[in-house]
Amino acid sequence: MSVILVATPTDVFRRFKDSNIFSGINSTLSSKDWSPLTARDIIQDWARAFTDKIYNHDLNKNGHRVVHSLASNSISDMLAEFCDFNYAIILVGYLLMLVYALYSQCRFDGCCSLGVESAVGLALAGVLTVTLSSVAGLGISTWFDIHFNAATTQIVPFLALGIGVDNMFMLLHSYPEVVSNVNRNELGFLLKQTGVSILISSLNNIFAFCAGTILPIPALRSFCAQTAILLSVNLVGIFLIYPAFIALDLKRRKAGRRDLAFLAYYCLCMDESVGTVQHYQHQNNDNNGVTHQELINAKSDYECASPPYLPAELDKTVNSCKHPEVVYTQPKLNNVHQFERTRKRRQKKSYRMYTLQGFLHIVYIPLLKYTTFKIGVLLSAFGLFLLSLYGISHSTIGLELSDILPENSAPADFLKTRDRYFSFYPMSIVLHGEQIDFPARQHQIDLLRNEIGWLFTFCCQVGRW
């Protein structure tokens, strides 16, 4: 391993301060702009170009002999690069979550149209609410002057997305049940049933990350503070903004309209169906001379005057439609079993194999009825538990500098190679002082050098280098 020492910015500044090098170079840099800061920038640019030239050399690509290079500013440049937001990765992650949310909430009524019970619009609104809440949380973090680092820019957006979307899914899971069982104040019942668990779990997460702000490490302290702020803003968005979308979707369900998707196809089908009904009504009016309203009134009068036919097993019959009597019957056991089998058969046919519910009802739940499959599941869980214990016993504790750098990069490869073949750390002793009399202290300096040399020899003998 070779070490190349580069002059300090002050030495470079003094060396070229009074020279005519600027007049001979065709550049925008003049002698007036020459300063130690400018010299530092030039040294750093030269170090970057030098390491890139060595790392990307043609002889390093054959694999027989690889030369790794590392400059003093390589690690800082790599960390600064990863402190910026990677918008492409964040966009791909949010799009994948959006696709999953839309797919899990879609309920088709036909080949290419969504049904009334579909919640694709709510899933889309929920993901957008969480996304905008995350952006607002990052803005509040910037307002509080919380510094961004590699942990916050690479982890916090996805962590806030996962927890925020989880709260949305909890509301959407209870939403159809509340709508089918409650006739009024559905939104209040929904928040009463599911909102408490969302509030408690979110507050626990927020308080946990707030407790992490007392850590002495600045990077982890900033990470915990930004995560707590984003989770707080997501909680506010879920409780204040998202219920408004649920209220709009509730009106749509009560009106019997389909969920938002394939609007053009839906409008076209509605126009055709309305035109068919109007043509049928016009034809009946021409043939019989009876209006549609009269048909409805006659149908209602007929239903009220003549009750439908009831089976013979009933103990009593309904004598009047104005004062009906509640009739209780004891259904036969065979009919009940036949009804349950028919219901389960229809429900099983309604599931699709490529959905999660279809996989559970068609494949997984029937397999759980077999004893061998149950034993296999228990043995698999026990095997994973033993594998986890084995992994814990062989885990390494500690954080190396190469662990925080991206893989397949020049600084990470250099550090891994140095730790593998050169397991030592650079050390330097510098005599510093304004009034050091080097001629008078020369004897002590020689003694220091001899002691350091003896220590180096001892280390070599012990380490068998």
Neighbouring-strand partners of residue 114:
108
pLDDT value for 288: 46
In the chain, count of helices (H) and strands (E)? 19, 0
Q: Which residue has 């068919």 as its token pair?
A: 276
Q: Is residue 30 part of a domain?
A: no
Residue 42 near residue 73 (C-beta atoms within 8 A) = no
The two structure tokens encoding residue 81:
């690069």
CB neighbour class for 123 (10 Å; exposed up to 12, middle 13-18, buried from 19): buried
Which has the closest alpha carbon to 6: 51, 71, 78, 52?
71
Which has the closest alpha carbon to 71: 96, 50, 56, 41?
50
Residue 396 makes CB contacts below 8 A (sequence gap 6+) with: none
Q: Is residue 232 part of a domain?
A: yes
Q: At what angle do helices 218-240 and 120-143 cross, to 10 degrees?
A: 140
Q: Which residue has 């509730």 as its token pair?
A: 250
pLDDT value for 384: 95
pLDDT value for 325: 46
Residue 278 near residue 155 (C-beta atoms within 8 A) = no
Element (H, E) at 230: helix 218-240
Q: Is residue 305 part of a domain?
A: no
Could you read off the pLDDT of 392-433 as tens digits, one per residue? 888 877 666 666 777 777 777 787 877 777 766 666 777 777
Tens place of pLDDT per residue across the chain (465 aa): 677 778 888 888 888 777 666 555 545 566 667 788 888 888 888 888 888 888 777 777 776 778 888 887 777 777 777 777 778 888 888 899 889 888 888 777 766 667 777 888 888 899 999 999 989 998 998 899 888 877 778 888 888 888 888 889 999 888 888 888 888 888 888 888 888 899 999 999 999 999 988 988 888 888 899 999 999 999 999 999 999 999 988 888 888 787 764 443 444 454 444 444 444 344 444 444 444 444 334 434 433 333 443 444 434 444 444 444 444 444 444 555 565 666 656 555 566 666 677 788 888 888 888 999 999 999 999 999 999 999 988 887 766 666 677 777 777 778 787 777 776 666 677 777 777 787 888 888 888 878 776 665 544 444 433
The two structure tokens encoding residue 266:
């839906």
Which has the closest alpha carbon to 111: 261, 311, 308, 287?
261
Residue 419 near residue 68 (C-beta atoms within 8 A) = no
pLDDT value for 352: 66
Query: In 10 A of CB 457, how many CB atoms?
Result: 10
Q: Which one of 216, 234, 264 terminates a domain?
A: 264
d(CA 225, CA 155): 13
What is the rounded (10 degree) CA torsion for 310, 313, 314, 315? Answer: 140
Which has the closest alpha carbon to 71: 423, 428, 431, 409?
409
In order of 309, 324, 329, the CA distances from 312 in angstroms are 9, 18, 11
d(CA 151, CA 169): 27
Q: Which residue has 């104040």 as its token pair?
A: 185
Query: Quick one: DSSP state of residue 108?
Result: B
Coil vs helix vs strand at 221:
helix
Q: Is residue 192 part of a domain?
A: yes
Task: Please state the pTM of the whole predicted model.
Answer: 0.60
Q: Is residue 61 part of a domain?
A: no
pLDDT value for 160: 85
d(CA 99, CA 88): 16
Q: Is residue 411 part of a domain?
A: no
d(CA 143, CA 409): 34
d(CA 146, CA 214): 14
In order of 155, 175, 209, 263, the CA distances from 147 in angstroms are 14, 40, 16, 46
pLDDT value for 388: 93
pLDDT value for 16: 78
d(CA 47, CA 66): 19
Q: Is residue 130 part of a domain?
A: yes
Q: Is 290 left (phi over 0), alpha (psi -120 to 50) or beta?
A: beta
In order of 81, 154, 164, the CA distances from 223 in angstroms are 17, 10, 17
Residue 50 makes CB contacts below 8 A (sequence gap 6+) with: 69, 71
d(CA 17, CA 355): 74
Q: Is residue 465 part of a domain?
A: yes
Q: Which one of 210, 241, 264 terminates a domain?
A: 264
Indicate the number of domains in the chain: 2
Coil vs helix vs strand at 443:
helix
Coil vs helix vs strand at 122:
helix
Q: Which one of 264, 297, 320 terminates a domain?
A: 264
Residue 219 near residue 153 (C-beta atoms within 8 A) = no
Domain that holds residue 446: 429-465
